[in-house]
Amino acid sequence: MKKLLIATHNPAKTIEIKSALNELKKQGVELLTLNDVGVEKEPEETGKTFQENSALKAKFYSKLTNLATIADDGGLIIPFLGNAPGVRSRRWPGYEAGDQELIDYTLSHLKNAGGDERTAFLETCVTFFYPPTGQIFFEQEKIKGHIAEIPSPRPTNGYPYRALFVVDEFGKYYDELTREEHDKINHRYKALRKLTKRIENLIS
């Protein structure tokens, strides 16, 4: 395997994934982005779980490019709300909503909730698809926390739920974590590092 496609149009996520896959790069695998291969299309995310959507995206982009592909899917899980918003994290109200709208929407659903009812998880699933054999690998990780009653004063553009998610391990908003704290709990990075080991076994 000489090339590996990172299937996301999100620049920040691309940088994070490339960093996590650095061991593969050291072994001579060229890490390509969707921009590198000139792909602008996006699949319809019809899966009911993060794993289903992650696999759907990996297979979609692999079919377009005939490249081994890594894709991910994830979002916020609130058990008290029946694990909502889940795969509908960006479309929870029934349509593509903006950051502030999603923050307000979440708080309105938890208006009278307290204690354990505000428990939440940030979950991710990363998928590797290898077209020569059809092999597919999954790795999943999550961060435990709870939904605050008021949002962080320093929200991250494009990540509305981080402004509400307090990481239990540090007792801090996700948005307010230091670089070192973020690196320690980074669920996508952890999942990608596990996936890297499985890919190394495949290509060794």
- For residues 7 and 26, give the distance between their C-alpha atoms in angstroms, rounded to a whole number: 20
* Nearest Cα to Cα of residue 67 among 102, 34, 24: 34
Q: What is the DSSP letter of 96?
A: -
> Which residue type occupies 145?
G
Q: Which two tokens stand for residue 9?
A: 């149009």
The answer to whether 99 is a known catalytic residue is: no
Q: Is 1 helix (H, G, I), strand (E, B) or coil?
A: coil
Which residues are 138's β-sheet partners?
Answer: 127
Neighbours of 178 (CB within 10 A): 10
> Which residue type occupies 113?
A
Q: Where are the beta strands (DSSP E) in the chain?
A: 3-6, 30-33, 68-78, 84-85, 119-130, 135-147, 165-167, 172-173
Q: Is 182 helix (H, G, I), strand (E, B) or coil?
A: helix
Neighbours of 160 (CB within 10 A): 25
Among the options 36, 72, 73, 168, which is catalytic?
73
Catalytic residue positions, numbered: 73
